[in-house]
């Protein structure tokens, strides 16, 4: 990483920069996406279902960050998914990689410049709700932004009215109609026994949560916890995109001090490998309805 790249990690982005990235991408492909999908850890296989696909490595895209996490391929894939022009991120960006909050959410404003109207964001998350089982799929109805309490919000800094208002309302960040449609899709597929709906809590990571922290998050009303998603959702809602959020419950958090179990990233990836086809089928079925 050179000096100019380090400086960018700690600076705000301008409208012209998002536009430059979007125009470069539009010049490389005939696909005009109306749906963007952000794939979490181990969930990038959804992009393999795109037809007429064109793939770009993150490092080849002007001004785009690069992913450094195992399970994140670091590719942007354009193509058609069940008849819809889509763009799919195989891997996202996180605060714990060293990026600032504006770079973590950089792709979303690029998507808005591409003409995207709907963002589907997926993640791997730890289950805080005692009723959840490993392998469940949780529709996100709301979130708790723990980094936001410490001032880590992608909307901090100068506001550009071309994207959205200075003080966006977040009570409707996760589109109700899209949530209902996904539940109807699950019913039609006969997989509602895997489906939950709840509150996602974002922590900064990269360390997994302590037992005391997990108990605190449960008290706050969180059903699942992870290290991503919220910055992208904030940026998408600010841009006027409709948002559907989905968490794959890959592990149960540890809340017993006598437990010998330990949270680890390998367990997360193993669970996603088992359930990724179901989640892919659910997204495809959702888009085809």
Active site residues: 41, 72, 94, 96-97, 124, 227-228, 251, 265
Lookup: tokens for 102: 């504006």
Environment class of residue 41 by beta-carbon count within 10 Å: exposed (0-12), middle (13-18) or buried (19+)? buried
SS3 assignment, position 270: helix
Instruction: Check if the beta carbon of residue 22 is closer than 8 Å to that of residue 32.
Output: no
Work out the angle at residue 116's Cα, subtended by the Cα atoms of residues 113 and 119, and round it to the nearest 5 degrees.
120
The DSSP symbol for 69 reads: S
Lookup: tokens for 148: 């936001």
Partnered with residue 225 across adjacent β-strands are 126, 201
Instruction: Give how far Cα 251 sits from Cα of 2, 230, 261, Å.
Output: 37, 20, 11
SS3 assignment, position 36: strand
Looking at 40-136, which runs of residues are DSSP E strands? 51-57, 75-81, 84-90, 118-127
């Amino acid at each position: 990483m050179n000096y100019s790249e380090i400086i960018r990690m700690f600076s705000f982005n301008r409208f012209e920069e998002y536009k430059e990235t979007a125009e470069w991408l539009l010049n490389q492909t005939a696909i005009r996406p109306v749906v963007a999908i952000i794939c979490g850890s181990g969930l990038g296989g959804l992009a393999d279902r795109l037809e007429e696909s064109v793939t770009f490595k993150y490092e080849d895209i002007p001004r785009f960050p690069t992913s450094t996490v195992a399970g994140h391929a670091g590719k942007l894939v354009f193509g058609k998914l069940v008849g819809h022009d889509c763009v799919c991120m195989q891997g996202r960006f996180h605060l714990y990689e060293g990026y600032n909050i504006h770079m973590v959410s950089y792709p979303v404003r690029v998507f808005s410049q591409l003409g995207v109207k709907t963002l589907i964001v997926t993640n791997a998350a730890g289950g805080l709700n005692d009723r959840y089982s490993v392998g469940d799929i949780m529709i996100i109805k709301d979130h708790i932004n723990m980094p936001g309490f410490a001032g880590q919000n992608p909307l901090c800094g100068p506001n550009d009215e071309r994207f959205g208002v200075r003080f966006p309302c977040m009570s409707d960040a996760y589109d109700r109609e899209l949530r209902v449609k996904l539940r109807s899709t699950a019913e039609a597929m006969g997989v509602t026994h895997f489906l939950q709906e709840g509150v996602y809590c974002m922590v900064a990571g990269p360390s997994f949560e302590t037992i005391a922290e997990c108990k605190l998050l449960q008290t706050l009303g969180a059903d699942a916890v992870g290290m991503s998603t919220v910055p992208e959702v904030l940026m998408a809602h600010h841009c006027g995109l409709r948002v559907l959020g989905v968490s794959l419950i890959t592990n149960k958090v540890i809340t017993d001090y006598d437990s010998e179990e330990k949270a680890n990233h390998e367990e997360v990836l193993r669970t996603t490998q088992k359930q990724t086809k179901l989640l892919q089928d659910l997204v495809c079925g959702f888009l085809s309805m």
